Amino acid sequence: MTRLLLFLCLWLSLWSERVLGSVLAIDYGADFIKASLMKPGQPFDVLLNRDSKRKMQSTVGWKHNDRLFGQDAASIAGRFPLDSFSSLKFLQAAPYGSEAASFYASISTADMVQTERGTVALRRSDGTEWTVEELIAMQFAYVRELAESTAGEKVSDVIVTVPPYYTQFERDAVVDAIEISGLRTLALINDGTAVAVNYAMTRSFPTPEYHVIFDAGASSIRATVVEFSAASDSKSKVVKDATQITVHGIGYDRYTGGTELTRRLRDLLLNDFQKRYKRDISNDKRAMAKLWKEAGRVKTILSANNEAQATIESLAYDLDYKGKFTRAEFEAACKDLKLHYAVPILEALAHSGLKLDNITSVILAGGASRTPMIQDAVKAAVGANKLAFNVNADEAAVLGAALHGAGLSRQFKTKDIRITDIGPYDIQVSYQAESKQPGARPRTINSLVFPTGSKTGTKKTLTFKRQDDFSVKLAYKTPPLRGYPTDFLEAEIVGVGEAIKNLTEAGAIDPVIKATVMLSESGFASLRDAVATGEYKDDSLTGKLKDLFGKGSSSSASVDETTADVGTAEADSTATSSSAETSATAVSKKEPIPLEIDTKFPTISPMSVAEKRIGRDRLKAIDAEEASKRRREEARNTLEAYVYRLRDLLEDESTEAPFVKCSQSAERKAISEKLAETYTWLQEHGDDATTMEYIDKRTALESLERPIVHRYKEIEEFPQALNNSQMWNWSSRLFLTDARQNFTKELEAGLPTKYTKEELDEFEKVLKEHESWLDEWVEKQKKVKMNEDPVILTSEMRARAKVLENHLQKLYRKRAPKPATTKKSSASASSGTASTSTSAGTSEATSESDTASAGSSSSTGAASSQDPHRHEEL
């Protein structure tokens, strides 16, 4: 971990401080939330919560009207079982009545209701209903507040980890929660891929390596086969210091995770209690919530010990419960699960086309990977020598997500790590074939566009021969899990008839509709755009020559490599005639006509813009209410602390106490009376008072104490202010004496003076006025008692000293005048040079030339000797 942090600090130091911005990463788990903040100038690490913990429980709840998060929210479940909501990850986009909803009902005491969209909402004890997206958004907003408190600025961009098996429905639910929380989605990243990024950050791969990321979390178990290699560019040249991460296969078990183990252990406790006391408490929500909490604690103990003691006070019917459980009993209750633990690894290898011999290691991540029975099952499947514990099981995913998010934001300089991920399901496009005969039964055509294992970030172009508007559906080939639909998006392509007509009238040959389907980096499949296009005859000589030499455009076979031509049976005859026609006449392409796409969601729809706006407004209303409560509590706490402080000051009767020395008896009496009044008010009305009432009461007390505080501060600051004033007097007097001496010497030597007499006289006047004022008022202040108001303020002393300082600085910084350059010295030098030249017996012309040259040289030398800067100025 230390190596990683040092490495990241080195890379982040290359980032320009002029670019501002932070990136938040959230690893949202069924049990815990981990977060990390990437901000220039701050160490890269896991974000701490308000209790300085590196992870927080994925729980939100209410204690009466107070909303709680994390451990605080989880701890109240035994008292308020209908108001504490945990393990919400299982319910993301889950249809009401689905397998996911049924599993959640078996582990939670929450009251589930159905939304208008067919998904699950949870109802509080007071009847308030919250969608799962809104509850998770609250937790995201809580993390955002922590990040903004750490960053000291607004945080907007977030990257969130999701399991690789998440469907489009579930990914939409995550993004909806992000938007409701007030954040902006930078990307979603599969958690196994995020762990791979963290693993690659401090490593290089001169030769390709294959690893399995085995992520055992609370909700599920995932395995991801990852290839690490040196990255290369489009020309297959290796890019220096760049790493390529390529996902080749995934495997998963949605429900065999840590939560299922807790459920099994809770049932052990439940059966033991009911067997002892012959009481059925399975419908007692408080008792079941207490059992769940204790089962989680006992499970943690059994991960490191062979036995553990369960203890619950007043579980039900005023009965305390105690029970001892061994690891053997626990594992016996879960023995059927052992067969499932290693299956995701085998599935991922099968999908990747690799064998276990090709794998360098199986990297364990996730909190449940510490469970002995899970480790034993994986060890039995892959061998002990393949197991690797070289990443932080809890934090690798969030740190990897943060690093990837920093790279996407383009605001940080991090190691160049490139990711190629895959989709987990077969995705097909479905549409009805255009009827050629009136009354004929419509025929549905299905075309597989993104098979399982398709790379994310790719797109395919679909070609349709249509004359009118039509709809295209995107769907999973088979249900992704029980209770979930297959269709997830329907796109109606509008304006086809008019576009085809315009193309035909313009001379287009066999106009078609081309639609682009994309599988994004975050795993979303969508219909991105649609156009009507065609080819046109070119009867010109140039066009025919292009066709002759093979440079003319051909038929639909010229579509790029990612094109998927669907409905080809309908287009065969047309394509043939088009090809024959272009053999004699060249064709050319013209600008396609964009078509409108009307997107709908036929089954589980994401939240609409209006619904998300309502959700955000509800959260804002709660935030505003809680902020008002915090301000009220802060005002009350401030008042109470102030009252107790004043009381302590009044009770201290020592004559040496500053409060006593600086106050008068009448002032202390007035404060004592007001203090007693305020204390009584707090006892009688403090619980019902408003924020402003607290502030007004404190202000009234402060107004009485303020004169005393003012005297004490003036007494405390007076020595420094006086010393400062005297220092400027002394400095000014010293400067003035020296300046007058220099002034006299310069006059006697006939040199220009730096200061004029008027300037020095003016400065001396200011100095004497300051000295006189200071002497007078300091003497007056000496006669003032400590409990009397000062006659001279330190602020005025500093202001007057500043005036003197400014006068002194102005004179001190004045530049000395430059000595004048005399013509006499230059003429003398020229005359001497001319005489020397003549006595040498040279010709007259030569003497004149030499004289001019020497004279010029002498003049320059004289000027340089008097002013060494003269040459630079010239």
Q: Residue 468, class by beta-carbon neighbours within 10 Å (0-12 exposed, 13-18 middle, 19+ buried)?
A: exposed
Residues present in the chain in total: 874
pLDDT at residue number 544: 54
- Set out the domains of the chain in order of their start, with CATH numbers: 2-257+339-420 (3.30.420.40), 427-607 (no CATH), 611-705 (1.20.1270.10), 713-812 (1.20.1270)
CB atoms within 10 A of CB 374: 27
SS3 per residue for 682-741: HHHHCCCCCHHHHHHHHHHHHHHHHHHHHHHHHHHHHHHHHHHHHHHHHHHHHHHHHHHH
Please write the tens of the pLDDT for every residue from 293-304: 999 999 999 999
CB atoms within 10 A of CB 356: 14
SS3 content of the chain, % helix, strand, coil (to 5): 50, 20, 30
Please write the tens of the pLDDT for every residue from 615-645: 999 999 999 999 999 999 999 999 999 999 9
Q: What is the mean pLDDT of residues 221-249?
A: 91
The rounded distance, in Å, linking the Cα atoms of 482 and 170 is 14
- Asked whether the predicted pLDDT for residue 433 surpasses 90, the reply is no
Strand 129-131, strand 111-114: pairing: unpaired
The rounded distance, in Å, linking the Cα atoms of 415 and 7 is 9
Helices (H), 460-535: 496-505
Which 3 state secondary structure label does DSSP give 324? strand
Q: What is the mean pLDDT of residues 311-317?
A: 95
Residue 71's pLDDT band (cuts 50, 70, 90): very high
The percent of residues in the chain predicted with pLDDT above 70, rounded, is: 85
**Are 413 and 15 in contact, with CB atoms under 8 Å apart?**
yes
- Asked whether the predicted pLDDT for residue 648 surpasses 60, the reply is yes
pLDDT at residue number 654: 82
pLDDT at residue number 653: 78
The rounded distance, in Å, linking the Cα atoms of 62 and 71 is 12
pLDDT at residue number 546: 54
Which residue(s) pair with 326 in the sheet?
A: 307
Q: Which two tokens stand for residue 408?
A: 């996407």
Q: What is the mean pLDDT of residues 863-868?
A: 34
Q: Which two tokens stand for residue 550?
A: 């093979």
pLDDT at residue number 538: 63
Q: What is the mean pLDDT of residues 202-208?
A: 93
CB atoms within 10 A of CB 563: 16
Element (H, E) at 864: helix 844-866
pLDDT at residue number 264: 96
Q: 């990850």: which residue's tokens? A: 89
pLDDT at residue number 240: 85
Q: Residue 347, class by beta-carbon neighbours within 10 Å (0-12 exposed, 13-18 middle, 19+ buried)?
A: middle
pLDDT at residue number 874: 27
**Are 662 and 786 in contact, with CB atoms under 8 Å apart?**
yes
Averaged pLDDT of the chain: 86
Please write the tens of the pLDDT for every residue from 142-197: 999 999 999 999 999 999 999 999 999 999 999 999 999 999 999 999 999 999 99
- Asked whether the predicted pLDDT for residue 562 surpasses 60, the reply is no
Q: What is the CA radius of gyration of the chain?
A: 42
**Are 252 and 222 in contact, with CB atoms under 8 Å apart?**
yes
Q: Read off the amino acid at residue 683.
A: Q
Please write the tens of the pLDDT for every residue from 730-766: 999 999 999 999 999 988 888 889 999 999 999 999 9
CB atoms within 10 A of CB 430: 17
Q: How far apart are the first and last CA of the chain?
A: 63
pLDDT at residue number 450: 97
Q: Which two tokens stand for residue 361?
A: 């290691």
- Asked whether the predicted pLDDT for residue 847 surpasses 90, the reply is no
pLDDT at residue number 239: 84
pLDDT at residue number 590: 66
Strand 470-476, strand 487-494: pairing: antiparallel
| HSE value, Cβ hemisphere, 13 Å, CA-based, for 407 | 19
Positive/negative CA dihedral, 71, 77, 78, 83 = positive
- Render the burial of 503-523: b for 16+ CB within 10 Å, e for the rest: beeeebbbbbbbbbbbbbbbb
Q: What is the mean pLDDT of residues 269-280?
A: 95
Strand 129-131, strand 120-123: pairing: antiparallel
- Asked whether the predicted pLDDT for residue 845 surpasses 50, the reply is no
Which 3 state secondary structure label does DSSP give 407? helix
298: left (phi over 0), alpha (psi -120 to 50) or beta: alpha
pLDDT at residue number 821: 60
- Asked whether the predicted pLDDT for residue 16 surpasses 70, the reply is no
- Render the burial of 566-577: b for 16+ CB within 10 Å, e for the rest: bbeebbeeebee
- Asked whether the predicted pLDDT for residue 852 surpasses 60, the reply is no
Q: Residue 328, class by beta-carbon neighbours within 10 Å (0-12 exposed, 13-18 middle, 19+ buried)?
A: exposed
pLDDT at residue number 817: 83
Lowest mean pLDDT among 111-120, 377-386, 553-562, 661-670: 553-562
Please write the tens of the pLDDT for every residue from 81-95: 999 999 999 999 999
- Asked whether the predicted pLDDT for residue 248 surpasses 90, the reply is yes
More confident residue, 14 or 409: 409
Q: Which two tokens stand for residue 184?
A: 């902006």
CA dihedral 437, 442, 447, 449 (to 10 degrees): 110
Strand 361-365, strand 209-216: pairing: parallel
The rounded distance, in Å, linking the Cα atoms of 646 and 706 is 12
The rounded distance, in Å, linking the Cα atoms of 264 and 368 is 14
Q: Which two tokens stand for residue 347?
A: 């599935």
Residue 42's pLDDT band (cuts 50, 70, 90): confident
